[in-house]
Structure formats: structure tokens, C-alpha cells
Structure 1
């Protein structure tokens, strides 16, 4: 059994198309097809049901690909453990970053990581939390840096980094803004029911923050009008700062240098910032260092808001 052959079959299965798989593997389609036919002849059965635009695994193919991933993971972990034992600081880390905040964090911590592990190549991938969780479960991601609630956790491993409060932000022009507070001070508490008729800027459906927002509305039995849906928490805050609408967002996106009043909510919603990886898989020293740097980053970030 050749390890390259395992990689080939996995790529075809992931793309459901031999042409796209060949392009990603940097080999010709005919060469990849020959490898597939050779393997199928060896096994005595087809691994894929062929169609023009959509290949899919047969029952035998599903068994083969599932175990091919396990074999490659064992190989990877074996090399990682030996490299750590011999203090060989080389390799590759595929990490998942949430849009916006994840990339900002990575830009801040990477210089420190590079100083310690200059020969470890990092492949940062901007992905939603659910996309990261799927990639981790498939063995396609070494670490995911995610923000989520406990109910959203999968069976994979999670290392808590910190928790972050979700707060209400309203323009200073709002009639109730005088009741609000400023960052760095204990925030006054107020119910969203007082803002049931106000327009809100919210995250798009499918995001962790949108799930938190929808749960808050359901608990208060209200449905404020939605002015804007976006993928950017920074955009949410800017909309409030411009006096256009209200919003519920993580406290780290708030700025004291703005025309915004801040409130705590009675439910005291928070989300957890965590590092996630496949359960029972081996975390290299380089991976642990990256997580440590991420933890330091968020500890500084949160202390600045207190």
C-alpha cells in the first residue's frame, strides 16, 4: 500500500471529481485514473461510482477512504512525536481562524511564533466555526481557533482560552442612552424589551453571534426590526457609532472613543474563545506554543477592556 495512493483516493472523494482532484494533486487526469484503476483491480471492486460531473464513493470506497485517513493521521502523528522527541522544530500546521477577529489575532501573534519556530510553516484558513469543526473531524485541520457556546461543542477536544461578554450597544442619540455606561466601568443592566421597536444591525444566520442574538429575542419574546445583516462585527459597531441603529456584539469590538452607550444584559450572555483539535490526536510543541500565544493575546485584549 503506497501512501501517495491513499492521498489520491482521499482527494478524489473530497472533490467528487477526478479532474479537479488531479489539478489539486498536480498530476494529469490520466495518471490519476491509472492509479485508481490499479487499486480497484488490486482490491477486486470499484471504489467510485462514476458520472460526468459527480463521482461518489461505493460502500467499499467509503471503507477505504475512512481508513486511508486514519493511516495518514497515524503517519503524521508518528513523525510529529519523533520530531518533538528530537527537538526538530519543523513541519506544517493547518489552523482555522474565524473571519475578522481570527486573522487580526494571527497577525499579532505570528511574529512571536516565528521567532521560536522559524521552520514550522503555518497554513491559516479563514473559516466559520462550523466549517472548522467539520475540517477537524475529517482530520483536515490541526487546530481551530473558535468562538462558541457550550451547546455548540462537538466531540472534539477544546482548550478554553477565555470567555467574552456579549453586550448591548446603542447610539448616544437614543432616548435611553443616558442610562448606559462606558467601557472600563461596570455596565448598567437593561432588558432588550426596552428596545423592541428599535432597528438592529445583526450578524447573518449561521454565525455563533446570530444564534446568541436569536436566543435572547426568543427569551424576551420580542422581534425588533432588522436594518442590516452582515458578516462583520466591526460593521455592527460602526453602524451604532454612526447613530443608525442598535446592536448586540462582543465587548472586544466596542470602542470607548465613540458616540455609543453600553449596557449589560440580564441574561449575561458570553461566548467562549477556545482552541479545538481532533480528540485523542497529538498536539505538537509548536501547536502548544501557538495556543499559548493566542491565550496571552486574548488575556491582554480582555484586560484592556476592564
Structure 2
């Protein structure tokens, strides 16, 4: 079986377009099409339903691509295991990082990783949690570094790194601000229903933090006015610091002495900082070291914020 041919067919399926697939594979469209036609002749069945802008798999194609991905993963796992056995500290890791905090973490831990594994190339990809989970399931990410609650986990593997409280931030001018607490102290609890008449800045739909916020409001039967939706937790905090609205944020984004009062939410929601990888795949020694460095980073960050 030609492993390069497997890669070609999988790429066409991922791109749903032979032209884009050829560009990603750095070969001509003609050469890629010849490989596909050769394989389809060998199998005696078409693998794709062709159209100008959208190629999609036939039933036979679904079967072929599913098994092709398994074979490609087995090859990668076998190579990683052998390199670990012989002590060859080389290879490549493709990792997912959440925007802002994920890239901050990577910048902090990469120098230490590089000293240990200078010949392991890391390809960091910044993407939301849901996209990371999808790419992990497809075998496109070796590790995803993400934040979520148990109900948001997939069937893939998760290694706990730390837990972080989700807290309420209100402007200093808010009528309830004087009842709030400061970072580093036990925060006074408050239900979201106490702020049902307030405006909020919250994360956009599709994020794990937004799902947590939606669950909290649904459980309390309230619908606060949504003033702003953002992709950035830093933006949420800045909106509160500017006195514009309230927000629900992870504690690590909270800053002291910013004109903001903080409350613990009822019933004390937390989310897990975790590393995730495809179920059944091999986690190399380099990958494990990267996760260990991540755990050390978050241990300091979360302890310092609690």
C-alpha cells in the first residue's frame, strides 16, 4: 500500500476540492488527479462525487478515508515509539493553543522545552476549543491545550492540568461593588439573578466560556442584557474596568487595582485547564514533557490568582 497515496486522498477529502488539495500537497492538480484515477481503477469504485467547487466522498470513499487515517496514525505512532526507545529526540508536534492565554503559555514554556528537545519541531496553531477538539478527532493535532468543563469533553483523552474559578466582575461604580472582594482573598458569593437588570459583556457563541455562562443564566432563569460579545477575555475585563458593564470571566484574566470588584458565582463554577490528545494514539516523550511544562506554568498562574 502506497502511504503517499493515502495522504493524497485524505487531503482531497479534507479540502473538498482537488485544486486546493494539490496546492497544499505542493504537487500539480494533474498529478494528483492521475493518482486518484489510478486508485479508483484499482478499487473498481469512485471515491468522490465531483463538482466544480465541492468534492464529497462516496460511500466507498468514506470507508477508504477512514482506514487511511488510521493507517497514517499507526505509522506516526510507530515512528514516535521507536524514536523514544532509541532516544532520538527529534520529530514534530502539532499543538493547539487557545487565543491569548494559550499563546502566552507557549511563549513562556517553549524556551525550557527547546533546551530539552532542540530537534523537535513544534507547529503551534491558535484556535478555539471546539476547533481543537475537531482537529484532534481528525488526527490533525497531536495535543490540544484547552479549558472546559466535563460536559464539554469529547471521547478523546484529557490530562488535567489545573482548575480555574469562573468569577463575576463588576465596575467600581456598580451599586453592589462595595460588597465585592479582592483578588487573593475568598470572594463573596453572589447569584447572577442579583444582576439580572445589568448589562454584560460575554464571549461569543460557540466558545466554552459562553456555554458555561448560558448554563448559569438558564439555571437561574435570568436573561441579562448582552451589551457586547467578544472573542477575547481580555476585552471582557477591559469593558468592566472602563465601567461600561459587568462580565463573567476566568480568574486568571482578572487584574487587581483596576477599579473592579469581584464575586464568586453560585454554585462556584470552575473549568479545567487540560491537555487533550486523540484516544488510542501514542503520546511521545516530547509531548509528555511539553504537557509537564504546561502544568508547571499553570500551577504558578492559578495558585497566584486564587
Please indicate the TM-score interval, normalised by the length of the shorter structure. Answer: over 0.9
1:101 aligns with 2:88: no
Structure 2 CA distance for aligned equivalents of residues 205 and 61 of structure 1: 33
Structure 1 CA distance, aligned partners of 2:138 and 2:120?
22
- Report deviation, 1:76: 0.5
Match of 1:173 in 2: 173
In 1, the alpha carbon distance for the partners of 2:198 and 2:259 equals 17
Note the alpha carbon deviations across 1:17-60, whole angstroms, 9 max, x for none. Answer: 11000000000000111111111111122111111111111111
* Partner residue in 2 for 1:65: 65
Equivalent position SS for 2:124: strand
Partner of 2:218: 218
**Residue in 2 that maps onto 1:228:** 228
Cα offsets for 1:95-139 (capped at 9, x unmatched): 111111111111111111111001100111111111111111111
User: CA–CA distance in 2 between the matches of 1:285 and 1:193?
Assistant: 48
| CA distance, structure 2, for counterparts of residue 176 and residue 62 of structure 1 | 57
Provide the rounded CA distance (Å) in 1 between the counterparts of 2:33 and 2:244.
58
Partner of 1:19: 19
Q: Match of 2:54?
A: 54
Distance in 2, matches of 1:165 and 1:229, equals 21
User: How big is each residue's C-alpha offset from its partner over 1:120-170, in whole Å with a ceiling of 9 and x where there is no partner?
Assistant: 001111111111111111111100111111011111111001110000101
What SS class does the counterpart of residue 186 from structure 1 fall into? Answer: coil
Partner of 2:136: 136
Over residues 195-254 of structure 1, what are the superposed CA-to-partner deviations in whole Å (9 max), with x where a residue is unaligned? Answer: 111111000111111111111111111111111100000000001011111111000000
Contiguous gaps of at least 5 residues in structure 1: none
> 2:95 touches 2:125 (CA, 8 Å); kept in 1?
yes
In 2, Cα distance between equivalents of 1:291 and 1:263: 31
Q: Measure the CA separation in 2 of the matches of 1:158 and 1:232.
A: 24
Q: How does 1:120-269 map to 2 (within 5 A)?
A: 120-269=120-269
Moved more, 189-198 or 267-276: 189-198
Partner Cα separation in structure 2 for residue 137 and residue 214 of structure 1? 26
Off by >4 Å, runs of 4+ in structure 1: none
Shift in Å, 1:194? 1.6
User: Alignment partner of 2:296: what SS?
Assistant: helix
Cα distance, 1:305 vs structure 2: 1.4
CA distance in 2, matches of 1:44, 1:280: 32
Find the aligned partners of 1:103 and 1:256 in 2 and give their Cα distance: 22
Deviations 1:265-289 (CA, angstroms, capped at 9, x unpaired) = 1210111110001112110000000
Compute the displacement of 1:79 (Å): 0.5
* 2:240 counterpart SS class: helix
Aligned 8 A contact 2:166 2:248 in 1 = yes
Does structure 1 residue 114 correspond to structure 2 residue 114? Answer: yes
Q: CA deviation at 1:257?
A: 2.4
| TM value normalised by structure 1 | 0.98
Q: Is 1:278 aligned with 2:301? A: no
Asked if the contact 2:159/2:274 (under 8 Å) is kept, the reply is yes
Unaligned runs of 5+ in 2: none
2: CA distance, partners of 1:192 / 1:17:
48
